[in-house]
Chain A
Amino acid sequence: MLSAALKRWQDEGRQAADFAALEWCMASGFRTIESRFAEILGNLPNRFVAVILKFLIQPFGARVLGPTDQVVHQCAQIVLSPSAARDRLTADLSHVDDDRGVARLEKAFLLVTAAEDISKKMHAARLHDWKEAVQNGVITQSEGDKLAAAHEAVAKVIEVDDFAPEALTPIYRKAADVHQFFQELGEQRAAS
């Protein structure tokens, strides 16, 4: 699998932007290989051979720790902004331009990443409301509109389905009904 990853990198023209993904693949693959070797040597039935092999192959044990924090950070950045690397990574996915979950997400993602500089400016000015920022002259009106559109798109994405309690529980009663029910029950008991 690691050879396939290397081949892909070579075939795609040694893209520098993809290098973090490749590095992540190789580092985690090497960690797997090392730990498998350690497991095999630790469980080999012939202990004599195991000790010799251990001395030859892994005298200090499994020492590869996997991808470093820096690699992890760079690899995560690939999917966090619209880029050619991201498109290469997620090539050939069908994109339906409707108003459903994935399309909304994609739209919001583009708007948010486009408005990143604007929100940085507001952050620097310690402002949270874009209207206030426009009034103070931190950002222009058009930038404010962009930000508003991004906020709206995000709100649409994170919106989730909700249901009326009656729709989920057939025996549901409203609080007032429950109160009345118990009152009637109490009256009945008192009467009988």
Chain B
Amino acid sequence: MIDTGIICKSQFEGREVLGLRLNWHKRYITLGPVATLLGLAFKAYDPDHLVGHDEDLGITVALIPTHLSGVEIGRRHLPAMQVFQNGPNRGHDVFIPMDYIIGGEARLGQGWKMLMTALAAGRGISLPSLSAAGAAYAARTTGAYARIREQFGISISKFEGIEEPLARIAGIAYLLDARAAADLCGAQPGPSSRGHFRHHETARHRAAADRDRRRHGRPWRQGRDRRPAELPRRPLSVGAGRHHRRRRQHPDPQSDRVRTGRDPRASLSARRNDGASRRGPCQGAGCVRSGILETRRPQLYNHVPGLGPKLERRPVRAGARRRRCDAVLSPALALCLGVCALRRYGAVDPGRRAQAQGNAVGPLRRYPLRTLSCCRPR
């Protein structure tokens, strides 16, 4: 947060008072361009120790009349191309007395709590009303358009395929307006149901955002030139069940390789793909049966234990987890499985496969053996 408030003394309405000198720049402030009173969250600092010993007082919320000198409001955003009062505002050396802090001087630094309780209520009003209006607008215009358009000499609204979505639009409009009205006329549904409702309201937005995220999360195209140089080539996978947990508990202090011995399920992540350590203890046909479950490119949060998504533990082959006697399978069967793996992943061991695919994450590909014999990586 770059918005700061420095505690100092200054002239305010003709006398010297203790207050805060604020500098801020906020974006996407709903109703900001027409506001007469801004609710502003900023970080308060007390370098001169005017109110106590602490210099960093934390997030504080204050109400700021927009007529004060230094406050700039009025410019607008055009969010999602909607003409909606939403815009940036900034303040340069705006002085406010301590009384303008919500709760007065006693509530310096307690803004986070206020934000968390108040923002949710604000969203509970603006999003439902926006959705209700949007649904009503959709019902009015879609109904009219379906009525006036004709195909094959009859109005398209008589087609059942059009009728069904029309009914859905009308029903949703009825429902959303009912809910928004219930909210505004004072029915107190309780926070959980309000949250639930908001979830329904914004479900479509979330679906779109999910799609977007999926697009961003898509792995690079195969081939090395596509990969930014700063990311290490490190495949990451999750071992199967029990073994995975054991690996977590006893990590090798020397590297992130795991001493799994001949454990057939020592997975790809246990082995850095940097050449030297690829000669790991579980090199060989036995390794093929290790469950590569998923590879993905390293993320920033990998360095922080406990963060990041839980990877899906999906066995490569059905029943891989159940096979406890993998280690003692006969060499002939191991060879057979090796050939299977070659066909399936394009390499006898998963590390090579990942290397061959540029560590790319993606669908496990099946190539015919003939193709692989031509292009198998050395």
Residues of B within 8 A of A159 (CB): none
Instruction: Output the least CB separation between B144 and chain A (Å).
Output: 4
* A-B CB contacts (within 8 Å), total count: 123
Contact of A79 among B169, B182, B187 (CB under 8 A): B169
Known contacts A72-B164, A73-B163, A108-B148; is-contact A24 B171 (Cβ 8 Å): yes
Known contacts A8-B178, A90-B140, A109-B147; is-contact A72 B163 (Cβ 8 Å): yes
Main SS class of interface, A: helix
**Cβ of B147 and Cβ of A89 under 8 Å apart?**
no
Kindly state whether residue A191 has any CB partner on chain B within 8 Å: no
Kindly state whether residue B139 has any CB partner on chain A within 8 Å: yes
1/0 contact string of B151-179 vs chain A (CB within 8 Å): 00100010010111011111101110111
1/0 contact string of B266-287 vs chain A (CB within 8 Å): 0000000000000000000000
Residues of B within 8 A of A108 (CB): 144, 148
Instruction: Output the least CB separation between B6 and chain A (Å).
Output: 45
**Cβ of A8 and Cβ of B148 under 8 Å apart?**
no
**Cβ of A25 and Cβ of B171 under 8 Å apart?**
yes
Main SS class of interface, B: helix
**Cβ of B182 and Cβ of A76 under 8 Å apart?**
no
Residues of B within 8 A of A11 (CB): 181
**Cβ of B167 and Cβ of A89 under 8 Å apart?**
no
**Cβ of A75 and Cβ of B167 under 8 Å apart?**
yes
Instruction: Output the least CB separation between A141 and chain B (Å).
Output: 23
Contact of A8 among B141, B174, B197 (CB under 8 A): B174
**Cβ of B167 and Cβ of A24 under 8 Å apart?**
yes
**Cβ of B148 and Cβ of A69 under 8 Å apart?**
no
**Cβ of B142 and Cβ of A79 under 8 Å apart?**
yes
**Cβ of A105 and Cβ of B170 under 8 Å apart?**
no
**Cβ of B164 and Cβ of A79 under 8 Å apart?**
no
Contact of A106 among B144, B169, B200 (CB under 8 A): B144
Interface residues of B in 121-151 (CB under 8 A from A): 133, 136-137, 139-149
Kindly state whether residue A56 has any CB partner on chain B within 8 Å: no
Kindly state whether residue A5 has any CB partner on chain B within 8 Å: yes
> With A and B bound together, what is the CA distance between A71 and B164 in angstroms?
10
**Cβ of B179 and Cβ of A89 under 8 Å apart?**
no
Kindly state whether residue A21 has any CB partner on chain B within 8 Å: yes
Kindly state whether residue A7 has any CB partner on chain B within 8 Å: yes
Interface residues of A in 1-22 (CB under 8 A from B): 1-2, 4-5, 7-9, 11, 18, 21-22
**Cβ of B144 and Cβ of A109 under 8 Å apart?**
yes
Kindly state whether residue A144 has any CB partner on chain B within 8 Å: no
**Cβ of A8 and Cβ of B147 under 8 Å apart?**
no
Chain B, Cβ-Cβ closest to A153:
B148
> With A and B bound together, what is the CA distance between A36 and B298 in angstroms?
36
Instruction: Output the least CB separation between B145 and chain A (Å).
Output: 6
Contact of B166 among A22, A76, A92 (CB under 8 A): A76
Residues of A within 8 A of B170 (CB): 21, 24, 75-76, 78-79, 89
> With A and B bound together, what is the CA distance between A7 and B175 in angstroms?
10
**Cβ of B178 and Cβ of A7 under 8 Å apart?**
yes
Kindly state whether residue A183 has any CB partner on chain B within 8 Å: no
Residues of B within 8 A of A5 (CB): 174-175, 178-179
Kindly state whether residue A180 has any CB partner on chain B within 8 Å: no
> With A and B bound together, what is the CA distance between A73 and B166 in angstroms?
9
**Which one of B145, B147, B182 has the highest number of Cβ atoms from chain A below 10 Å of its Cβ?**
B147
Instruction: Output the least CB separation between A37 and chain B (Å).
Output: 16
Kindly state whether residue A81 has any CB partner on chain B within 8 Å: yes
Kindly state whether residue A157 has any CB partner on chain B within 8 Å: yes
Residues of A within 8 A of B200 (CB): 1
Residues of A within 8 A of B142 (CB): 79
Residues of B within 8 A of A146 (CB): none
Kindly state whether residue A54 has any CB partner on chain B within 8 Å: no
Instruction: Output the least CB separation between A69 and chain B (Å).
Output: 7
Residues of B within 8 A of A9 (CB): 178
**Which one of B140, B142, B162, B169 has the highest number of Cβ atoms from chain A below 10 Å of its Cβ?**
B140
Residues of B within 8 A of A157 (CB): 145, 148
Instruction: Output the least CB separation between B204 and chain A (Å).
Output: 15
**Cβ of A86 and Cβ of B197 under 8 Å apart?**
no
6 contacts between A and B (CB under 8 A): A5-B174, A21-B174, A76-B162, A79-B142, A79-B169, A93-B140
Apart from A21-B174, A67-B171, A105-B148, list 14 A-B contacts with CB within 8 A: A1-B175, A7-B178, A24-B171, A25-B175, A76-B162, A76-B164, A76-B170, A78-B170, A80-B147, A89-B140, A109-B148, A112-B148, A154-B149, A158-B149
Q: List 3 A-B pairs, minimum CB-CB distance, nearest first.
A: A79-B143, A8-B178, A109-B144
- Residues of chain A touching chain B, judged by Cβ–Cβ distance below 8 Å, are 1-2, 4-5, 7-9, 11, 18, 21-22, 24-25, 28, 67, 69, 71-73, 75-76, 78-81, 86, 89-93, 102, 105-106, 108-109, 112-113, 123, 153-154, 157-158
